[in-house]
Structure 1
């Protein structure tokens, strides 16, 4: 789900009131960034949010059981339910939900004069691979009919070990699924059991073999660090086995202990058997070192890939582009408006009925908050190795806010947590940075700002909070 994609390293992004407090410690003076942004914002900054989405997220909430760390909207089918084959064909919980989902898609208004076909489709969950291919096909057919889907679209599906066999994998591929996100999470039996995962190490190895035997050309392997009783040796073993499996992409997430989950009841972050923040940081550094050493590009805080295998769908989020979301608890970003569906099935059923009756209107927002838009761009850009394009940001929001952002980051440029790059993407020294803090230098000699890997990424919450304070004190 989108939440997993936007999860920071150690904690959720702080609430906006905290940004103001951080700014007071980072900058002094009488600068009024909100007024400057509003006065200098270029009209074309609103173009991208108003464009028709070319990406869609489809939520398929079914799991064999709820994992102990999971707070996503899921429907647990039971550990004894059929998984690898298509014996779930007649499960009314699945078929009825797919019908409801298709009703939502059908009832959704497409309020654009012209609409480019979808370029990415992402089936998330839950465990989408529990859904029979026939029912997935019905969703894809509906999307093609309503929006169109390009011939080279990236069609991704989250899959868990033990929920598919060769035949089922081949059927998904025949439908057009061309990218798989495999939820391994760990290679140690005791850790998988401690997390409440429904699969074991044998099923992990079987799933990896299926990826290879079926010729899946683009697949990702997901891992979770900072699990209860996870040792550095266990983490290094998981990374080593991941590298040996040769996925095209690796996602590494730090455990988030959420309220309302079993882990939220049992554990307190930073206290045994969970690792301390220092130990969690070491896990992150180890992943960066080992995966980068194996030839993977660390292109986003939690994402690594071989050349050319970045997740196109996730770039929709990171570039702040609009997207559709359909299904239980899913989120959309259409015409500058972000909104989510109900997370409870009863509420979602009522939502779809209201949508069909014309009682729900989310066709867009013509009054986009400039400060919020700027904050979104900074937050999402700084999650990536590409970083924030200062020239584009200056053209959109004015020189003053960019100058103040650079001024706020001066101590972190000097400490190495923030890197400034020129137009050729060469890292600018601290002295060169300070000498270029003027109208001629920003956007030319100073072309990009990014967080360093790994130490800058580890401070992403604090560094992004400072940026928010500059934009909206």
Structure 2
């Protein structure tokens, strides 16, 4: 049967003042024109027209649709886009797909690209969640990353979002394992983040991508980048300090205050369908993943083809069961909730669910994997062994779910997920 239609939409707004040294996203660098000027750069307005055409054409070929529950305006630096154009995007989504009564509408904003007036205008349009791209609280690290903002901009931005009474929900992004970053610097950044009181914190470990400035300059694990052990310590420190400050570590790189999970990102972790609009963005509909072209000219041609009907998106090309099983395992094990073995066995068979448990046995014993019963009580290793020998109609044994422990299991996530993949597709 076809999967339910998406209730989430990601919209890519690719404009930045400059390209950061670690970034390999499809972006368009505008140069350092003043961020608050009311007139709009024609590159932005032309791109938004393309987006509106893509949204309209996507709805035209969709058989059915459900009202959107989450919208995420990502980038790039969406806060460079004038509010009037953001309004036209949100209006198009609402008129084409509908929106539920209280959707989560997030926008990524960078320090130095907005003032109080711009934020208030965005909130009037229906934005109700801000993701603030701080990344570090040290001037030298911001410079080393090639960020367009400085520390003064960071504190101004934090003050603006905290003084805005209408905004109840905001997130801060930080990056660990930056060149020349010390443990002291990292602890200072975490302290500053905690004292800013965001409802959500995302902590990303630097990935050195080929083709980026960092990719040319550095080798992972080699000075001035931290060693693997230092990076692991950064991760443990974040887990300890943020948990101690009342944040729940609900996903491998995400922390939130009670009930402030990012609903949009949960769409991804729960392997639910979502629309993607704009340059290089990916969508997942009817079990089929699809990415748009990363270059503007090719994206423009692609939108034209979509309108002409010569591109057919997401037509129910049969989805490989093994691929689906791997997606479920990879995405579930990124979350604190973990992998529901009952649901997994129902979709992919009891024997596969049992084999996964068998393969991860030694990691249950070492404490990297936590096994749970139906009431989500954690099983000791002897209890786990006992449950493994039970014959259960639903999963083939008595283990109801497994999750990676925090932080040590999460640190081994790539290795543990690879083991699981080897069982699913030997």
Regarding TM over 0.5, the answer is yes
Could you say what the CA RMSD is over the residues aligned between the two structures, in angstroms? 1.3
- Deviation, 1:110, is 4.9
**Which deviates the most, 107-116 or 203-212?**
107-116
Work out whether residues 373 and 401 of structure 2, in 8 Å CA contact, stay in contact via their aligned partners in 1: yes
Give 3-state SS (helix, strand or coil) of 1:436's partner: helix
Return the alpha-carbon distance in structure 1 between the equivalents of residues 82 and 59 of structure 2.
28
Equivalent residues in 2 for 1:287-326, closer than 5 Å: 287-326=238-277
Structure 2 partner of 1:131:
81
- Deviation, 1:436, is 1.1
Equivalent residues in 2 for 1:179-328, closer than 5 Å: 179-215=129-165, 216-328=167-279
Provide the aligned length of Structure 1 versus Structure 2: 423
Return the alpha-carbon distance in structure 2 between the equivalents of residues 339 and 259 of structure 1.
23
Structure 2 partner of 1:82:
34
Q: Does 1:118 align with 2:68?
A: yes
Equivalent residues in 2 for 1:56-455, closer than 5 Å: 56-79=9-32, 81-83=33-35, 85-87=36-38, 89-215=39-165, 216-437=167-388, 438-440=390-392, 442=395, 445-455=398-408
Work out whether residues 179 and 217 of structure 1, in 8 Å CA contact, stay in contact via their aligned partners in 2: yes
Q: Unpaired segments of 5 or more residues in structure 2?
A: none
Q: TM-score, normalised by structure 1?
A: 0.88
- Deviation, 1:363, is 3.5
- Deviation, 1:86, is 4.2
Work out whether residues 222 and 250 of structure 1, in 8 Å CA contact, stay in contact via their aligned partners in 2: yes
Work out whether residues 111 and 363 of structure 1, in 8 Å CA contact, stay in contact via their aligned partners in 2: no
Work out whether residues 71 and 260 of structure 1, in 8 Å CA contact, stay in contact via their aligned partners in 2: yes
Q: Unpaired segments of 5 or more residues in structure 1?
A: 1-45
- Deviation, 1:90, is 2.5
Give 3-state SS (helix, strand or coil) of 2:69's partner: strand
Return the alpha-carbon distance in structure 1 between the equivalents of residues 224 and 270 of structure 2.
37
CA offset digits 1:210-261 (Å, max 9, x no partner): 0111122000000000000000000000000100001000000000000000
Return the alpha-carbon distance in structure 1 between the equivalents of residues 242 and 60 of structure 2.
42
Return the alpha-carbon distance in structure 2 between the equivalents of residues 181 and 164 of structure 1.
13
CA offset digits 1:142-169 (Å, max 9, x no partner): 1111100112000000000000000000
CA offset digits 1:319-365 (Å, max 9, x no partner): 00000000000000011110101111111111111111111001332
Return the alpha-carbon distance in structure 2 between the equivalents of residues 227 and 324 of structure 1.
32
CA offset digits 1:350-381 (Å, max 9, x no partner): 11111111110013324111111111001000
Equivalent residues in 2 for 1:35-46, closer than 5 Å: none
Work out whether residues 341 and 353 of structure 2, in 8 Å CA contact, stay in contact via their aligned partners in 1: yes
Work out whether residues 405 and 470 of structure 1, in 8 Å CA contact, stay in contact via their aligned partners in 2: yes
Structure 1 partner of 2:4:
51
Return the alpha-carbon distance in structure 2 between the equivalents of residues 363 and 187 of structure 1.
43
- Deviation, 1:430, is 0.6
Return the alpha-carbon distance in structure 1 between the equivalents of residues 351 and 397 of structure 2.
16
Give 3-state SS (helix, strand or coil) of 2:155's partner: helix
CA offset digits 1:254-292 (Å, max 9, x no partner): 000000000000000000000000000000000000000
Q: Which has the higher contact order (CA 8 A, sep 6+)?
A: 1
- Deviation, 1:445, is 3.9
Work out whether residues 16 and 28 of structure 2, in 8 Å CA contact, stay in contact via their aligned partners in 1: yes
Q: TM-score, normalised by structure 2?
A: 0.97
- Deviation, 1:396, is 1.3
